[in-house]
Amino acid sequence: MPRIAGVDIPAKKRIVVALTYIYGIGRTTSEGILEKAKIDESVRAENLSEGDLARIREIIESQYKVEGDLRREIQGNIKRLKDLGAYRGMRHIRNLPCRGQRTHTNARTRKGRKRIAIAGKKIATGPT
């Protein structure tokens, strides 16, 4: 199983798909990396030589921000918005959508499970 950018990429998959297992690399970026490294997209990850893997690693390290560095940068950007008190930062703090989606209905992924309030129900205080 080849290891690139601290991630074990699946050996049985085509290299163009296997590279997408690295955080920050999608399909288009993967295709661009392979084009720069002059590697065929249809080759399986297990069939790559050490030289091919070294070229891929070098391109990723020099030109792309991936994995831990990218995660840190994104978290830093969110923290900055929160500290500024920006609208988007407030939405992050309240765990609500921050890109303009409606919340009257939907937004369940962000808001969590619906809590049902029962009108007029009182908590029992014990025997009286």
Contact 9, 25 (CB under 8 A): no
End position of a domain, from candidates 29, 63, 97: 63
End position of a domain, from candidates 63, 87, 112: 63
Element spanning 83, H or E: helix 67-84
Clarify whether residues 45 and 89 are in a common domain: no
* Domains identified in the chain, total number: 2
End position of a domain, from candidates 63, 82, 98: 63
Q: Where does residue 34 rank: exposed (0-12), middle (13-18), buried (19+ CB within 10 A)?
A: buried
Q: Dump pLDDT digits (tens) for 30-89.
A: 999 999 999 998 999 999 899 999 999 999 999 999 988 999 999 999 999 999 999 999
Whole domain around residue 10: which residue ranges? 3-63
**Whole-model pTM?**
0.75
> Does position 91 have pLDDT exceeding 70, yes or no?
yes
